[in-house]
Amino acid sequence: MAAVDIKKGLAGVVVDYTAVSKVNPDTNSLLYRGYPVQELAAKCSFEEVAYLLWNGELPNETQLAEFTARERAGRALDPVVKSVVDTLPTTAHPMDVCRTATSVLGARHELAEDSSPEANMKKAIDLWAAMPAVVAYDQRRRRGQDAVEPREDLDYSANFLWMTFGEDPVDEVVEAFNVSMILYAEHSFNASTFTARVVTSTLSDLHSAVTAAIGALKGPLHGGANEAVMHTFDEIGIRSEESLEEAATRARAWMEDALAQKKKVMGFGHRVYKHGDSRVPTMKAALDKMIAHYGRPELLGLYNGLEQAMDEAKAIKPNLDYPAGPTYHLMGFDTQTFTPLFVASRITGWTAHIMEQVASNSLIRPLSEYNGPEERHVP
């Protein structure tokens, strides 16, 4: 039997073209439609970036006004979605709630069976506009609180925080949240995006593809890592009275012990980036601002201690989930809500890829090499 070159995990395999984003691991760079993500995070709103991902160009003033009006008009929590969410136990993982809500929104969409470019664009904007209400309400109901109505005078990020906490959001916090939404929006053929493209390639609908993508994102090797980072911090112990240095020392000891036990520590490493994740410096800067804003240096101590010990032992660098986790914690999100925040953002990238797949489709159907028993027969 000729040896077959199996590419386990499709590592290193280029499966298609994409014009949505470019990840360059050699230069640690990430471009959305040609624009460096750091520039977008510094100069744009998440709404502008969503428009860019879907349309290929940044909006002019008129286009942005029309686009934001559509987003603001679609923010209310769908009463049917709310009633379905209410049937789920509050112990259900919020990713399961997001997945279920997406499925319900798909089944109820006026263009459910239409996958034309116009219908898909409408579905993408509708789903993107609707998801913050689902994520916010789910966190609130787990705390025994009612849903908060959206506010048309706030932008996407400020309104998301408003609907989650029911308080006027502080500008600095909105800014950090906006940065996180932009950084999480798109990352080429990662596992969940590829999942969405596989589903789309069968000529299934947009909501089915996003529902499947949410399932893929839930895993701790992918989006679930931002939640897992916080579990690590909790396991080490967050002690608000501790100095930065004391926290760093304890974190280093924890990491040395974890690595001695050959544990995988979530929030570190990446399939594509091997010398650092292009998005980390921007997200870390946002985390630093939040640490200063909330006056919590001990969290920076934990962050630094883990990062330094990992670097010294294995030279493995943090990925985006590492600074994002503690940032969301400081803002007041429940740890379980972190990956749904990633969903709310990544809906933009997923659906941009879905539309690209539809425009140039070929059924995604790889081969496998059989290694089971030789042919045999039922006695």
Tell me which residues touch ligand COA (CB under 6 A).
221-222, 225, 264-271, 314, 316, 319, 321
Compute the least distance from the CB of residue 318 to ligand COA, in Å.
8
Say how many CA atoms lie within 13 Å of 10 toward its Cβ: 13
Q: Is 26 a catalytic residue?
A: no
CA-based Rg of the chain, rounded to a whole angstrom? 21
Residue number with the smallest Cβ distance to ligand COA = 269
CB-CB contact of 195 with 214 (8 Å): no
- The stretches of the chain forming alpha helices (DSSP H) are 37-43, 46-55, 61-73, 79-87, 94-108, 117-142, 156-165, 171-184, 191-201, 206-218, 225-236, 244-260, 280-294, 297-314, 321-331, 338-359
> Of 76, 50, 89, which is closest to residue 133 (Cα–Cα)?
76
Compute the least distance from the CB of residue 226 to ligand COA, in Å.
8
Compute the least distance from the CB of residue 368 to ligand COA, in Å.
19
Compute the least distance from the CB of residue 192 to ligand COA, in Å.
11
**Catalytic, out of 109, 270, 329, 353:** 270
Bridge partners of 35? Answer: 32
**244 or 255, CB closer to ligand COA?**
255
**107 or 221, CB closer to ligand COA?**
221
Tell me how far CA of residue 46 lies from CA of 65, 165, 220, in angstroms: 14, 20, 25
**123 or 279, CB closer to ligand COA?**
279
Q: Is 270 a catalytic residue?
A: yes
Compute the least distance from the CB of residue 327 to ligand COA, in Å.
15
**Catalytic, out of 78, 126, 205, 321:** 321
**268 or 303, CB closer to ligand COA?**
268
> Of 200, 204, 207, 217, which is closest to residue 364 (Cα–Cα)?
200
> Of 90, 138, 104, which is closest to residue 337 (Cα–Cα)?
138
**120 or 319, CB closer to ligand COA?**
319
Determine the Cα–Cα distance for residues 319 and 69; give it in Å rounded to an integer: 34
For 367, phi then psi, to 5°, come to: -105, 165
Determine the Cα–Cα distance for residues 213 and 142; give it in Å rounded to an integer: 24
**106 or 224, CB closer to ligand COA?**
224
Compute the least distance from the CB of residue 321 to ligand COA, in Å.
5
Active site members: 270, 321
